[in-house]
Chain A
Amino acid sequence: MKKIDAKGLSCPQPMLMAKKAMEAGTDDKIEIQVDCAASVENIGRAAKQIGWNLTVLSQDGDEAVVELNKR
């Protein structure tokens, strides 16, 4: 499973990192750490567009760990 640390990055960078990883085709599961609530929403929208599911594994304030799974 690929892990991405996107903490400290502002939109749209976390989403672009997630999109690049999903489109690379090397992993079916990707874990991403973010510290901006809007990033979770943006990554979720991008994932939906290209056939992936997003699950929030943990959330504490603006910090969150999300998992992307290929459908």
Chain B
Amino acid sequence: MGFFDKLLHGLSGTGQRKNGLGSGQGRSGGKLPERAGRTGSAERSGRGILVFEQTGDVIQAEKALKKAGFAIAVKAPPPVLRTGCDLVIEYQLVLEPGIRAILAEKRLKPLQYYQVADELLEPVSIFHRNDYGEYLMVRAANMKITVQKSNLRIVNVSGGGCPDVPYLASLLMNRKLDEAQPLLDIGQQTLCGYALQLAFNEARTALCA
């Protein structure tokens, strides 16, 4: 069995975490062993990631946790944990008891809790910016939004493949970044709608800060 096979085998077990954070009832998860020569392990050891089955769960969890004041971030999963849902939630381990309480209250059950103890478990930023001079394109996961920098008008929305993308694009096209409505507030819950909201927020951060 090769290294990656062992790794995946270790990560895919259900029931108890193998190392690290203790063994709460019904929890599962894992922590890769520290290896000599790795850099940044001390920095990583204080963070964890939540893996959910569906994007809708990630969206609800993010909303509930942020509303409760937790500093969390939505990211893309590391390659070894990609199971279908393209997003994970990164959090500080010290916050885990509170996060568990909020998720239990909302009846949201992550598939796994992982401690980021190795670069193979490092979550990936879902954002990418591309500067075309007069325009800035921001991609979040599978959605892109392009803004004319001089007047902050949204000139293009693309990506996805969800049926709501044309409608969402029509809401945003030619609107200024500082006047377009946040999309989640009007009920979109697809991955595309959610990713577009994230791209929109990132573009605002980049150009309206």
Pairwise interchain contact A19-B132, C-beta atoms closer than 8 A: no
Interface residues of A in 4-60 (CB under 8 A from B): 11-13, 15-16, 19, 38, 41-42, 45-46, 49
Give A38 to B144 CA distance when docked, in angstroms: 12
Given A45-B173, A49-B174, A16-B158 contact (CB < 8 Å): no
Residues in chain B near residue A16, CB distance under 8 A = 132, 135, 146, 155-156
Pairwise interchain contact A46-B144, C-beta atoms closer than 8 A: no
Q: Using a Cβ–Cβ cut-off of 8 Å, how many residues does chain A contribute to the interface with B?
A: 12
Given A12-B146, A16-B135, A49-B156 contact (CB < 8 Å): no
Among B158, B166, B169, B174, max chain A CB count under 10 A is at B158
Partner of A12, one of B135, B166, B170, B174: B135
Give A34 to B174 CA distance when docked, in angstroms: 23
How far does the Cβ of A27 sit from chain B's closest Cβ, in whole Å? 20
Pairwise interchain contact B173-A15, C-beta atoms closer than 8 A: no
- B137 interfacial contact with A, CB 8 Å: yes
Pairwise interchain contact B135-A38, C-beta atoms closer than 8 A: no
Among A11, A12, A13, max chain B CB count under 10 A is at A12
Given A45-B169, A45-B173, A49-B174, A19-B158 contact (CB < 8 Å): no
Pairwise interchain contact B173-A11, C-beta atoms closer than 8 A: no
Pairwise interchain contact B158-A42, C-beta atoms closer than 8 A: yes
Pairwise interchain contact A15-B156, C-beta atoms closer than 8 A: yes
Chain A minimum-CB-distance residue to B132: A16
Give A45 to B166 CA distance when docked, in angstroms: 10
Pairwise interchain contact A13-B132, C-beta atoms closer than 8 A: yes
Chain B minimum-CB-distance residue to A43: B156
Pairwise interchain contact A38-B158, C-beta atoms closer than 8 A: yes
Give A19 to B159 CA distance when docked, in angstroms: 18
Query: What 17 additional pairs, Cβ within 8 angstroms, besides A12-B144, A38-B159?
Result: A11-B144, A11-B156, A11-B158, A12-B137, A12-B158, A15-B158, A16-B132, A16-B135, A16-B146, A16-B156, A38-B158, A41-B158, A41-B166, A45-B156, A45-B173, A46-B156, A49-B174
Q: Could you show 22 A-B contacts with beta carbons less than 8 Å apart?
A: A11-B144, A11-B158, A11-B159, A12-B132, A12-B137, A12-B144, A12-B146, A12-B155, A12-B158, A15-B155, A15-B156, A15-B158, A16-B132, A16-B135, A16-B146, A41-B158, A41-B166, A42-B156, A45-B169, A45-B170, A46-B155, A49-B173
A interface residues, Cβ below 8 angstroms from B: 11-13, 15-16, 19, 38, 41-42, 45-46, 49
Nearest 8 interchain pairs by C-beta: A11-B158, A12-B156, A12-B146, A49-B174, A15-B156, A42-B158, A38-B158, A42-B156
